[in-house]
Amino acid sequence: MITITLNCRHCASENLVRHGRTANGKQRYLCRDCQRSSRENPEPNGYTPAAREQILRAYEERSSLRGLERTFQVSRKTVSVWIKKSMPHSQR
C-alpha cells in the first residue's frame, strides 16, 4: 500500500491518485476532488534561499513543524535538516 502524503496544490485535498509521470520523470498525481493534476514535490531540496529563510523564520516564531508543514507544504524532515544546519547551537 502506498501512502501519499501530498496535498493537491489546487484544492489542498489529500485525495490524490497516481497519474503517470511528467516529462522529466516526476510522479504525477490526479486529484479526485477537483480533477486536476499535481506534481510530486517539484524539488524536494530545491527551495530558494528566500523561501527557506522565510520558513525558518516562521519556525522560530511558532516552533511548530506541523504548522510549517501545513503552511508551506514542506516536509518536516526537510525543515529539521535546515534547522540543524542553520542553528548549530540549537539544544535539540
**Angle, vertex CA 76, rays to CA 72 and CA 78, nearest 5:** 90
Least CB distance to Zn ion at residue 49 (A): 29
Q: Using CB under 5 A as the criterion, which residues of the chain lie in contact with Zn ion when the complex forms?
A: 8, 10-11, 13, 31, 33-34
Least CB distance to Zn ion at residue 22 (A): 17
For residue 27, the cross-strand partners are: 21
Closer to Zn ion by Cβ: residue 34 or 65: 34
Least CB distance to Zn ion at residue 10 (A): 4
Determine contact, residues 28/39, Cβ cutoff 8 Å: yes
Least CB distance to Zn ion at residue 15 (A): 7
Q: How far is CA 74 from CA 1, 57, 70, 80, 87, in A?
A: 23, 14, 8, 10, 18
Closer to Zn ion by Cβ: residue 29 or 59: 29
Closer to Zn ion by Cβ: residue 14 or 60: 14
Q: Tell me the three cell numbers of residue 85.
A: 544546519
